[in-house]
Chains A and B, each alone.
Chain A
Amino acid sequence: MGNRFAVCLSLLTMAALSGCGDQRILEKVGFTQTTSYDLLPDGRLKIAVAIPKADPEAELSRQLLTTTALSSKEARINLSRQTNLILVSGQMRNTLYGLSLAKSGLWNHIDTLMRDPSISPQVKVTVVNGDAESLLKKNYEQHPRTGKYIDRLLEKEAQEQAVPKVTLYEFARNYFDDGVDPVAPIVKDDGDSVIVDGIALFRDDKYAGRIEPGDSIIFALLERDFKKGEISIELAGEEGKKEIVMFSSLISSRKVEVGHGDAGTRTVNINVDVKGSILEYIGRLKLSDDANRHELERKISEHLSSRGNQLVGMMQEKGTDSLGIGMYVRNSMSYAAWKKLNWREEFPDVQVKCNIHVKIKDYGKFR
């Protein structure tokens, strides 16, 4: 028995002591929460990190360090020279990329982040319309610390489909997939707040265009199945009057159909079924009347479908297959034929038709 006890004890001691090699003491560690990247005109990177302070006595709730360097890991060494804390990236939540850098390509930076085992694949990828560092540096008085503020903002908006949820994992996955291009949410400084400014479309890893914030929900309808989301629609009514519909609690499912024509032409139908509640309607139709309601459903469906077509047209023009239509085209043909096809060149010429079909679940507690 005594023998066993000795073995146990020595094992425990050794296991515990071997942990002393790489110590991390909370007070001595600076957990990077957000990192921003900007490209300077001379080709160097401007990198800033926001570190929330654990010390309750500190006057400021965060530390912000900035440096310029050739690579992000070199920047980390530079940043480390400015602080008494050991910089670690294990609790990083968000990375902000200035538009200048997004245009020149993000992959090298994402690759670095993916390679580091201490960085979570759930770190968000966000494009800043403007200078990322100045956005991160700014304190927004009415809101939590800027890094946390942007992180929570995006998280909440993603839940309501106003922006897609884009993390290192999603970006890398779509970057590598030959049938879809990556996207990322865009934010910008709006005086007293940070505001979501649409969706950035990437061609490979380079920023190629953006979707207006108003169209983000249309993008969501065409891109994925989801529950939860809302949209406000302005319909053309009779005699030039506008009708306004607020369509909420959306549940949407989509199917993509690919057809192959005789002359090698391809047609793609994106069929979306959306159910939702009407929370606001300003117009002449009576929602409690079945015929009226169906007419409204038809009108909304037509309206959304045409906006969908416009959106796809815009993406075809930019040459970014952000909806992943290529995935469905690929899956509808043989491997050899797909490999022979240059999807990048083919995509703008594909006939894409969006059929968004709307059903009104309920229209509130008022007739």
Chain B
Amino acid sequence: MKTEEKLSPFHSVILIHMIQTGVALFSLPRVLAVQFGTNGWLAVFLFGAIVAIHIWLMSYVYRHSGGRSIFDILEQSIPKFVLSPVYIGLICVWAMLCCLVSKEYILIFKMVAFPTTNPMIFELVVNLLTLWLLGMGVYNIAKAATVFFWFVIWMVFLLTFFYGEFRWARLTPFVFQGGELKMKELYSIYAAFFGYELVLLLFPYANPQTKLMRAAMAGNGLTVAVYLYTCLIAFGFFSLQQLKEMLFPVLDLLAYIKLPFIERIENLLYGFFLFTILITAVMYVWSAKEVSRRMFPRIKGGVLGFIILTLAYLVSYIPDVLSEVLDWLQIFSVIEFWIAFGLPALVGLVLLVQRRRGQPSNG
């Protein structure tokens, strides 16, 4: 019964959007201001377009995969011992991304609300939640993502709160002036869009009705829209130089909100972001688990997930302050960037070779 279930188009859109949205949003306006200078928010378009092109390229792979998983395709033409190091690499990177993303979130939370509590306790709680969600399988994760989506997306309306102080004059008519482009930082901007590449692993869980690639496009479109709106508000609300000095401008935006009956609600609002972090984290560890099942087909998925999360949790003990976590994330973002481009390229290439040789595309 269960194996016949397929992802619905709407759930897939939301799932992709929820994997993409994460902690990177908190610093995004600042990074854009530092890198691009005036009207840096426009750069969201550029990055969104790169992602869109990339998804379009992946749709080639999807069309010719015939619904097979990318691992089936790879293993058909490449011997397993050659693939093993690639698989191990993927497991490591995705497992680490899962833990680093949640750890960054927790360290920010700790800075704001619980300055002296050991963050690893929170990390453990979040990891347990992740593990629990992981055990439910990808269909239920997608459904959970849809529920979580409604918990988070309403916050976009909070941005109307800033219309009063927003000034177009503050945006200046200059486009991309006074920034310093650094390759390293560009990766971290791109990292705010990461997550769409995991669509590669969803092939076997979709059918033609899912319109998986269109869903990925729409999910990315939604992410771009939310980022664009948030960054536009930040650029018109803060002055450029101020924005460059703020570590987490979106957190400052949240802190500014003051209702007649309550203020300083940023901790509460920040709490809602846990939902997006949870989906991001669970999908990365799910991906790592999917890969590891290829390597250890005899061990049950749940056990593999547990082992991966435990190992990643132990490794995430090493970077223990925010700046270290950010450094680690930077490194893993660069690796993930190349995985996001390299993996579909590899699969595409293999597919091309298989088609040339006339091998069946339907396994």
Binding site for B on A (CB under 8 A): 7, 10-11, 14-15, 18-19, 21-22, 90-91, 117-118, 120-122, 169-170, 172-178, 324, 327-328, 330-331, 334-335, 339
Contact = CB atoms under 8 A, between A and B. Distances in A.
Contacts of A169: 165, 252, 256
B256 A335 contact: no
B245 A176 contact: yes
Interface stretch (B91-99, B118-126, B275-283): B118-126
A177 B117 contact: no
A19 B114 contact: yes
10 contacts: A14-B124, A22-B114, A22-B116, A91-B264, A120-B256, A169-B165, A176-B242, A177-B170, A335-B38, A335-B178
A33 B12 CA distance: 49
Cβ-closest 4 pairs across A and B? A21-B117, A177-B239, A176-B241, A176-B242
B238 A173 contact: yes
The majority secondary structure among interface residues of chain A is helix
B358 interface: no
Contacts of B38: 335
Interface string B100-136: 0000000000011111111001101100110010000
B4 interface: no
Nearest to A336: B177
Given A7-B132, A120-B264, A122-B263, A21 B116 contact: yes
Given A18-B114, A18-B125, A176-B242, 16 more contacts: A10-B128, A11-B129, A18-B117, A19-B114, A21-B121, A90-B264, A117-B111, A117-B112, A117-B255, A122-B258, A173-B238, A177-B239, A177-B242, A327-B170, A330-B172, A335-B174
B173 interface: yes
A255 B238 CA distance: 21
B169 A331 contact: yes
B256 A122 contact: yes
Contacts of B113: 22
* Residue of B111, B114, B124 with most partner-chain A CB within 10 A: B114
B105 to A, nearest CB: 15
B344 to A, nearest CB: 36
Contacts of A22: 113-117
Interface in B268-318: none
A207 B270 CA distance: 37
A178 B172 CA distance: 11
Contacts of A91: 264
A11 B114 contact: no
Contacts of B258: 120, 122
Contacts of A19: 114, 117
B241 A177 contact: yes
Nearest to A7: B132
Given A21-B114, A22-B116, A331-B173, A174 B239 contact: yes
A158 to B, nearest CB: 12
A172 B122 CA distance: 33
